A and B are shown apart, each in its own frame.
Chain A
Amino acid sequence: MVPIVYNLRSLAVRKTTTLATAGGVALVVFVFAAVLMLSEGVKRTLGRSGSDDIAIVLRDGSDAELSSGIEAPQIALITAPSEVKRRGGGAPDAAAEIVAVLSLDKVGTDGQSNAQIRGVPDDVMSFRPSVRLVAGRVPRPGADEAMIGNAIRGRFRGLDMGQSFEIRKNRNLTVVGVFEDGGSSYESEIWAGRDQVQSALGRGTVVSSVRVRLRSRDVFERYQRQLQSNRQLGVDVMRESDYYAKQSEGLSIFINALGILVAFFFSVGAVIGAMITMHASVANRSREIGTLRALGFKRWQILLCFLLESSILALVGGLLGAAASLSMALVRFPMVNFASWSEIVFTFEPTPGVIIASLVVAVLMGLVGGFLPAVRAARADVLSAIRA
C-alpha cells in the first residue's frame, strides 16, 4: 500500500486548499452534529422527567396532560390499588396535578410565549425527590406563591426571584423559589399550589393527571390492567417514561428531519468542494501517480490511496466540525414542544454516538467527493502520467 504519510504530507503541503475544503466539511458536520445533539437533548430533557416505576394516569383518549381531566373523586380510586407504594402513614405515594399554559411576556423581545404551569400538591417535593431548590423556598400552602424551574428563570417577565406574574387578570403569583431537576422538562415549568391554580383558572377540583409510584416497576402491567378495565373510571395508564418518550417523539422527528435536510444541502456543497480539491490534487500529482504505477503499484492501490486521502481530508473537517459543535453544549435553546404548546428549554447533548455519527458522515462525504478523482488517478495511463 502507498504509505499514509504520503497522503498526510500531500495534504499538509497544500495547506490553503486543504483547510478550505476541510472548513466546508466542518460546517456541514457542525450543523449535522448540532441537530443530532438537539434531538438528543429533546429526548433526554423529556426522558429525564420520566421514571419507570411511576405510572401516569390520564383521562382515556388524552395523549397529554394538557388535554386531560380527572375528577377529584376518581383520585382515591386511582391511588387505592395495592400496587401503589405507600408512604410512612399509609398514604399513597402519588401526586394529582393540574397543568395549564400561561401566555407571558418574553424578556428581551416584545412578543409573548407560552409557559407551562403545574398545580402541585403541597408534598410535591416528597413525590419528586430529585427536585432540588437552588434559591428561595417552596411556596407556602394556600399562598399566592410559586416556584420556577431554573431553565425558565429570567426568560419571561416576572419569572425571577421576588418577581410576580399574572396567573389570571388581577391575580398575581410571586416567585419565592427556583428549583432544578437534573435538566428535565420540569425545569421549564412554573409550580404553584394545586388549589391556587385550580381556583385561578376556574377548574374546580379537576386535575390533569395522577402520578403514582408503584411498589416495583414489574407491577405496572397489573396496575394498568386493573384501572383500564374499570370502564367507569375511563382512564389511560402509561409508564411515565413511555409518556415522556411519546411527548418527545414529534419534536424529535421534526428537528431531525429539518436538520438533516439542511445538512444534506450543505453537504452537496462540501462534497463538490472535496471533489474539486481532489481533482486538482490528482492533476498536479500526475507524475507521482505514474511513478507509483511504474514501480508496481496496482490501479486499485492508487484508487485506495486517493480515497484514503479524501477521507482524511474530510475527517479533518469532521473533527473540526465536531469539536466546534461541542461548544453547543453551553447553549440553552428554547423551543415550543408540540405536545404541550409551551416553551421548554433544551440543551444540546453531545453524546459519543452523535460524535461518531458526525465523523462517519464526514468520511462518507470524503469518499463520495473523492471517488471520481480517485478513479481518474487509478485509470491514468502510466506512460502519459510519468511524462506529465
Chain B
Amino acid sequence: MSAEPIVKLSAVNKTYFRGSESIPVLDGLDFEVPDGAFQALMGPSGSGKSTLLHLIAGLDRPTKGSVQVAGKELSKMSDAELAAFRANHIGFIFQSYNLLPVLTAQENVELPLLLTKLGRGERKTRAQTALRVVGLEERMGHYPRQLSGGQEQRVAIARAIVNDPQILVADEPTGDLDRKSADDVLELLGRLNTELKKTIVMVTHDPAAAERATVTRHLNKGALQ
C-alpha cells in the first residue's frame, strides 16, 4: 500500500444555509486518506461524516478550504468538471443501492461506461466481468425487483467498480441489509481493497462494518476525534 494520500482535505469548512440561518457542519477539518486504504467513518447523526464523504466524492463543494482527490483540486471545479471527475475517479455505493428499476443488472452496471468511448461490445464484456467479480454473472438479465437486497447491493458494487475508479465511496452500504447479506457485502469490499487495491471510504453506523476497515475515523460536530 502506498503512503501517498489520495484524498487530502485542508482547513475545510462546510456551512449550509437555511434562509438567513447558517448551519456549520465541518469547521477547519484536515483529513487524509492514503492511496489503497480502507477507511471507515463513524459518528453520530449530524457529525458531518456524510458531508465529508460528499466532498471527497465531488458531489458538493466546501465553503472554504481545499479538497484534493486523486491529484485534482475539487473546490474550484464547475458542475460539469465535477461530473467528469466523478465519472472518471469515483465509484459510488449507496445505502439504498440506487439501481435504476427499469434496467437489468447488466444495464445498470454498464451505465458508467456510457460516459466513456467504449463500444457496445466492450461495455458488455466489462459489465459482465464486474458482475462476475461480485458473483452475480448469472443474474445479469434480472431486474432489481427480481433480486434480493444483498444482490442489489452487489450489483451496485459492480456498477461502482466497472470503470475501474481509484476510489470507492460507500454511504452506509450495509444499512438496509440483514446480517448475512451485510457480511457478504463487507467481505466483497475487503476483497476489492486487498485484491484490486481500491481506496475505500465508507460511512457507517455499524461497528461490525467498521471492523472490516483498516482504519476507523470518528467524527463529532464536524471534527475528527
Which residue numbers of A lie inside 8 Å of B, CB to CB?
Answer: 1-3, 5-6, 9-10, 12-13, 287-288, 290-299, 382-383, 386
Task: Return the contact of B102 from the options A10, A287, A290, A383 (Cβ within 8 A).
Answer: A10
Q: Number of residues in B with C-beta < 8 Å to the partner?
A: 27
Contacts of B107 in A (CB 8 A): 3, 5-6
Task: Return the contact of B59 from the options A6, A9, A292, A383 (Cβ within 8 A).
Answer: A383
Name the 5 nearest CB pairs between A and B, nearest first: A296-B87, A9-B102, A291-B98, A296-B86, A298-B83
Q: Is the pair B112, A6 in contact by a Cβ cutoff of 8 Å?
A: no
Q: Is the pair A298, B80 in contact by a Cβ cutoff of 8 Å?
A: yes
Complex A-B: 9 CB contacts under 8 Å: A3-B103, A3-B110, A9-B102, A9-B103, A294-B86, A295-B111, A296-B85, A298-B83, A299-B80
Contacts of A5 in B (CB 8 A): 102-103, 107
Q: Is the pair A6, B102 in contact by a Cβ cutoff of 8 Å?
A: yes
1/0 contact string of B75-105 vs chain A (CB within 8 Å):
0000110011111100010101010111100
Is B124's CB within 8 Å of the partner chain A?
A: no
Task: Return the contact of A288 from the options B59, B83, B86, B100 (Cβ within 8 A).
Answer: B100
Given A3-B111, A296-B83, A297-B115, 4 more pairs with CB closer than 8 A: A3-B114, A290-B98, A294-B92, A295-B86
Is B30's CB within 8 Å of the partner chain A?
A: no
- Rounded to whole angstroms, the CA-CA distance of A134 and B107 in the bound complex is 63
Contacts of A298 in B (CB 8 A): 79-80, 83-84
Q: Is the pair A386, B80 in contact by a Cβ cutoff of 8 Å?
A: no
Q: Which residue of chain B is the closest to A1 with respect to CB atoms?
A: B114
Q: Which residue of chain B is the closest to A294 with respect to CB atoms?
A: B92
Is B137's CB within 8 Å of the partner chain A?
A: no
Q: Is the pair A297, B83 in contact by a Cβ cutoff of 8 Å?
A: yes
Contacts of A294 in B (CB 8 A): 57, 59, 86, 92, 98
Given A3-B114, A10-B102, is A386 in contact with B83 using a C-beta cutoff of 8 Å? Answer: no
Q: Is the pair A6, B86 in contact by a Cβ cutoff of 8 Å?
A: no
Contacts of B79 in A (CB 8 A): 298-299
CB distance from B119 to the nearest CB of A (A): 14
Contacts of B111 in A (CB 8 A): 3, 292, 295
Is B221's CB within 8 Å of the partner chain A?
A: no
Q: Is the pair A295, B92 in contact by a Cβ cutoff of 8 Å?
A: yes
Q: Which of A3, A295, A298: most chain B Cβ within 10 A?
A: A295
Q: Which residue of chain B is the closest to A299 with respect to CB atoms?
A: B79
Given A383-B54, A383-B59, is A291 in contact with B94 using a C-beta cutoff of 8 Å? Answer: yes
Contacts of B114 in A (CB 8 A): 1-3
Given A295-B86, A297-B83, A298-B83, is A386 in contact with B112 using a C-beta cutoff of 8 Å? Answer: no
